[in-house]
Amino acid sequence: MSADPMPDTAEELARRVRSGDRAALERLLRLLAPRLRGWLGRLLGPRAELDDATQELLIELARALPRFEGRSALSTYCHRIAVRVASRHFGRAGREAPLELLPPPPESVDPESRAMDRQLLERLYHVLDGIAPARRVAFVLCAVEGFTPTEAAAIEGIRAATMRVRLHRARRDVEAALADDPYVRRLEEGRES
Amino acid sequence: MSQLSPRTFERITRLAAEARPLALDDPSLDAMIGRALEASEASVTSRPARLADEGGREGVPSTAPRHGTARRPSPRPIAARRPAILGALAGAALAAAALLGYLAGPPAVEAPGRDAATAPELGGAPSWLALPSGDRLAVAQGTRYELASIGPRRRVSVARGALLADVSPLGEGEAFAVRTPHGRVEVRGTVFTVDVREGRTVVRVHEGRVRVTTGGRTRVLIRGQRVRMDGERFDAGEAPSPGERALREPARAAVARRAAPVEVRVDEAPGGEPVARVVEPDPARSAQPAPVEAPPPSRPPRPAYARRWIEAGEPGRALEAAELALERGYHGATWQMVRGDALLALDRPAEAVAAYERAAAGFGSALSARAGYAAALIRFRRLGDPRGALSTLARFRCVEGDSPVAGRAVGLRREIRHVLGRSTSGGAARSLGAP
């Protein structure tokens, strides 16, 4: 099922939110906030608007969760809203922000490798900024977040076949753009030599 | 255009998957949640409650733009338009009431009979109500109900008592839902009874199919099925109440009316020209009572329905359906996949692996690889059996070039080998699951 399942307590809190429990809503938002921010961060990349997007998403969820009736998984429901909030920011000329987008390095990772990883990640999001938003979402949900096309289709509210087509085209776009990137090309040449 | 090596591509996507933005500090998070709660309260107090099913999908704000399309600015702020909206709503309500009065007499919120609050005995001849859409409602005496909407998305609320709905087949954009204190019943052209009692609602389907929701759980009922819901869960029904018994005859009549076919015959006229005429249904045939009391059909549903049950949090029901289907010799591999999904949802990973492997053995190559990959993943991640997972990947050729899961399978194999302390070299890397 989902690559990132919600904890049981979240489902329980969602049930209480539906019955009008405001304290449960606050607890649920607090519980979900780190996960939501992670989703948005991976959808948007290193952008200064991440805080704004997080705030927007929390507001949308605070309004929507009391109407959540459990017809889909809570994770799918939250992800669907996160995708919509992120989609509003795709078209904007975002300022690149010096955000930490990598996990804390293990001691074994040398600074050079770490800098290289950061560069690669920046290149990926530069490429993603240039492709169609629907394909970008398909790519992030499936290739990055690890959802199957069927699960990603449920999040987007489209047919699985459509999601597969989007994913295929997104991969083609991303691979082509990265292959033409000078930094990535140098990296490839360095490995071969 | 140069070619990107699969290894670099995989490295980049892995980096993205591991990326974590800077966490918010506690004061910032507190402030954000506070603003979200304030905005939520403001929205609740400044507008009428919105139905969850408005906009087609559950509660997701339907005004949110999708994929960067710019939100069209509203011509006037909502506060300025509120009087006009309220006026329009009031006008619509008056028009609906007048139309209803014309069609069905006084739109009694309480059906004729004894006071429902003090006299719980229900029964007697029901009252019929015809809606402009062609739907017909039979309401048992003493039933307290409200026609919340008679537009394309029709809604009836039942506080207590029993009500039979004979719903015409719905067109595009139409819906028919009955709300009770314990859940919701949604239909698509059917005949069903809703009986609201103390602390519970009993739903019986006489014809067609309905979806019932309670406490976040959803079930699809088909003809002959009956279920009780109490706001949290479903269970088996109980003896029919007087109100429900009073609606049996109307239900039979409604089903018989649907069952009576309108036949169009083409005869040859004396001049040789074909003439079409409508043949009235045979009254004797129409009067045949429909098998309202028929037990639920023993045929399993389609696999897609069983999968929906899993998604709706009812894996046990999906498992029963899968086992029934396998017992009766339906397509084994597909049902084994459903069975595996259900077992996994029930936290029975070892049995799920067995089901997926049986499915993989029964499928053609592409689906076999998918099922094999699912089995290998569970073996490795849930059962802690890396060698078994490697064996499964190899057995079902998950890493072969034509496998739809080749990319993911190669990644899994590399991870397993890493755990086992082996080398990952050997040119096994492939593009991430390119279709």
| Model confidence pLDDT, tens digit, residues B414-424 | 888 888 875 44
Top-confidence residue, B135 or B93: B135
Cβ A67–B52 below 8 Å, yes or no?
yes
Looking at the complex, report in whole angstroms how far the Cα of residue B324 sits from the nearest Cα belonging to chain A: 23
pLDDT tens string, chain A, 193 residues long: the values are: 445 556 568 888 898 898 888 889 999 999 999 999 999 989 988 777 788 889 999 999 999 999 888 888 888 999 999 999 998 887 665 544 444 455 555 555 566 677 777 788 888 888 998 889 999 999 999 999 999 999 999 999 899 999 999 999 999 999 999 888 888 887 777 655 4
Which tokens hold the place of B194?
């809703």
Question: Higher-confidence residue: B354 or B256?
Answer: B354
Interchain CB distance below 8 Å, A178 and B9: yes
Q: Which residue has the higher pLDDT, B218 or A147?
A: A147
Closest residue on chain B to A49 (Cα): B21
One-character DSSP codes across B264-321? EEEEE-TTS-EEEEEEPPPHHHHTSPP-TTPPPPSS---HHHHHHHHHTT-HHHHHHH
pLDDT band at B95 (very low <50, low <70, confident <90, very high): low
pLDDT band at B290 (very low <50, low <70, confident <90, very high): very low
Q: Does B13 touch chain A (CB under 8 A)?
A: yes
Q: Do A123 and B12 touch (CB under 8 A)?
A: yes
Interface of A with B in 131-190 (CB under 8 A): 132-134, 137, 140, 142-146, 154, 157, 164, 167-168, 171, 174-176, 178-180, 184-185, 187-188
Chain A contact present for B20, CB below 8 A: yes
Per the confidence metrics, is the pTM higher than 0.90?
no
Asked if pLDDT for residue B38 goes beyond 70, the answer is yes
Beta-carbon separation of B66 and A80 below 8 A: no
* Average pLDDT, integer, range B65-88: 47
More confident residue, B201 or A4: B201
Task: Please tell me the distance from the alpha carbon of residue B208 to that of residue B59, in angstroms, as a whole number.
Answer: 27
Residue B37 sits at the chain A interface (C-beta within 8 Å): yes
**Strand ranges, E, within B314-404:** none
| Closest in A40, A60, A157 to B57, CB measured | A157
Q: Is the model's pLDDT at B266 over the cut of 60?
A: no
Which residues of chain A does B344 touch, with a Cβ-Cβ cutoff of 8 Å? 1
Chain B, nearest residue to A28 by Cα:
B33
Q: What is the pLDDT of residue B93?
A: 57
Residues A111, A71 contacting (CB under 8 angstroms)? no
Instruction: Write out chain A residues lying below 8 Å of B23, CB-based.
Output: 34, 37
Greater confidence (B93 vs A127) lies with A127
Q: Quote the CA–CA distance of A141 and A147 in Å, as a whole number.
A: 6
pLDDT higher than 70, residue B433: no
Chain B nearest C-alpha distance from A44 (Å)? 10
- Count of positions (residues) in chain A: 193
With CB atoms and an 8 Å threshold, state whether B19 touches A54.
no
Distance CA(B63)–CA(A84), nearest Å, equals 10
| CB interface of A with B, residues 18-57, below 8 Å | 18, 22, 25-26, 29-30, 33-34, 37-38, 40-42, 46, 50-51, 54-55
B262 reaches A (C-beta below 8 A): no
What amino acid is encoded at B133 in this protein? S
Whether residue A144 and residue B13 make contact (CB cut-off 8 A), yes or no, is: yes
Residue in A closest to B232 by C-alpha: A15
If you ran DSSP here, which 8-state letter would residue B160 be given? Answer: E
Binding-face residues of B in 55-94 toward A, CB within 8 A: 57-61, 64-71
Binned at pLDDT 50, 70 and 90, residue B27 comes out as confident
Compute the distance between CA of residue B337 and CA of residue B365 in angstroms, rounded to an integer: 15
Considering only alpha carbons, which residue of chain B is nearest residue A51? Answer: B24
Closest C-alpha among A21, A37, A43 to residue B29: A37
